[in-house]
Structure 1
Amino acid sequence: MSGFFDAYLFASVFITLFVIMDPPGVVPIFLGLTGAMTRQQRNRAARQAVLVALGVIVAFALFGQSLLDYMHITLPALQASGGLLLLLIAMELLTGKMEEPQPSGNGKVNVALVPLGTPLLAGPGAIVATMVFVQQSDKTLPDWTAIAAGVVAVHVALYLAMRFANVIHRVLGDSGTILVTRIAGLLLAAIAVQLVADAVEAFIKAA
């Protein structure tokens, strides 16, 4: 460990969040959610999603435990709500509703914010992992620097994965993108069900 940076903690934060947030695995879901967008809109959605995810992770790292305690919300409850939201999005991917063009100004939710930014990228797993790293750290400058660098590095990887999703889109074409969308919907549904199942298991153990 150097005087201003803990390399071991940085590696731990980066690897843990990389596995949880899974930048390569986000690509097919990102393509499915942005299938009706132009290249410029898709690039903007990638930036917005990463910035939202980063903001949520940082906010929970600093104030998350205090907020949950104040509102009497348990981590399993947060996990279950995220799983249910992802399940609704998965159903839209599987039925093709996400592919319908949506004119701007219609009041619908920006997919870059929900579900991409949260709870897909900044989901319960990433939030809890970051909160644990902060709570277990020594609250020194090297620890804070290492945690911050690890979080930022993972979000850079996420942005690069989604930024170059355009290349994958050109290779696949429209038909291939629709196929990937259906597969992504199935995978996202499985992720959502697993989140809810883990939350239920945690509720049972806590009872």
Structure 2
Amino acid sequence: MDFALFGSVFLTLFVIMDPPGITPIFLALSGGRPVKVQRRMAWQATLVAFGVIALFAVCGQQILDYLHVSVPALMVSGGLLLLLISLDLLTGKADEPTQTKDVNAALVPLGMPLLAGPGAIVTVILAVQRADGAGQYTAVWMAIVAMHVVLWLTMRYSLLIIRVIKDGGVVLVTRLAGMLLAAIAVQQIANGITDFINAA
């Protein structure tokens, strides 16, 4: 296995997917739920993210080409979706602990586009395209798997924070997460628009 390539892909995904940065958003979306539901949300979000990343690693460029979708378009659409979610967090509309909301929060926005966002998708597409030989392909896939294990561990054990900060702290974290998510969304939209302009 090419350990240099493994380290390169893993570090790139770590910076883009940002496990520490996802913690307050996960706490905001999982706060107020039973512990069993919170744990299920952690592995569901990780599983969804891994599924999306794996799909694009295998045939990502073909999917984008077939749909005639550019990476900047993917960035803008993901940013708009994150912006809608952030507004719900800021206004308190995401606080109702319904079963449907539990499942949806694990899928959207946690699984995608927060974890499996445009940046991570493009990273794995390029890494697979540039890999040469079984050793390098193994390194890329091991980096993807290792990154998702880190994501799951981060979300799984961030639940301990909820027990310390209680309900009032969860509300505070929710509003903070809404602000952070709004900033991420605006930055992603801006990056997408910039790429559109540069490509024109």
- TM-score category of the 2 structures, normalised to the smaller one: over 0.9
Partner of 1:117: 111
Alignment partner, residue 45 of structure 2: 49
Answering whether residue 187 of structure 2 is matched by residue 194 of structure 1, we say yes
Cα distance in 2 for partners of 1:123, 1:11 equals 20
Identity %: 57
Give distance in 2, aligned partners of 1:177 and 1:108. 16
Which of 96, 101, 104 is equivalent to 1:100?
96
Is the Cα contact below 8 Å between 2:89 and 2:177 reproduced in 1?
Answer: yes
Q: Hey, what's the Cα distance between the residues in 1 that align with 2:9 and 2:46?
A: 17
Would you say the 8 A contact 1:86–1:192 is kept in 2? yes
Q: What is the alpha-carbon distance in structure 2 between the residues aligned to residue 172 and residue 125 of structure 1?
A: 32
Which structure is higher in helix share?
Answer: 2
Name stretches of at least 5 consecutive residues in structure 1 with no aligned partner: none
CA contact under 8 A between 2:37 and 2:102: conserved in structure 1? no
What's the CA shift for 1:107? Answer: 8.4
Residue of structure 1 equivalent to 2:23 = 27
How many angstroms does 1:101 deviate by?
Answer: 2.5
2:106 aligned partner, one-letter code: A
What is the RMSD computed on CA atoms of the aligned residues?
1.3
1:141 counterpart residue number: 134
The alignment's TM-score, normalised by the length of structure 1, stands at 0.94
Structure-to-structure mapping, 1:46-85, within 5 angstroms: 46-85=42-81
2:143 corresponds to 1:150? yes
- Deviation of the 1:66 alpha carbon: 0.4
Where does structure 1 differ by over 6 angstroms across 4 or more consecutive aligned residues?
Answer: none
Q: CA deviation at 1:108?
A: 8.6
Counterpart of 2:146, as a letter, is A
Kept in 2: contact 1:93–1:181 (CA 8 A): yes
Residue number among 88, 103, 113 corresponding to 2:84 in the alignment: 88
Q: 1:107 to 1:182 in 2, by over 3 A?
A: closer
Contact 1:35 1:98 in 2 (8 A): no
Q: Is the 2:72–2:196 contact (alpha carbons within 8 Å) kept by the matching residues of 1? A: yes
Matched position secondary structure for 2:33: coil
Aligned length, in residue pairs: 200
* In 2, Cα distance between equivalents of 1:15 and 1:51: 20
- The structural deviation recorded for 1:135 is 1.2
**3-state SS in 1 of match to 2:40:** helix
Letter in 2 for 1:97: K
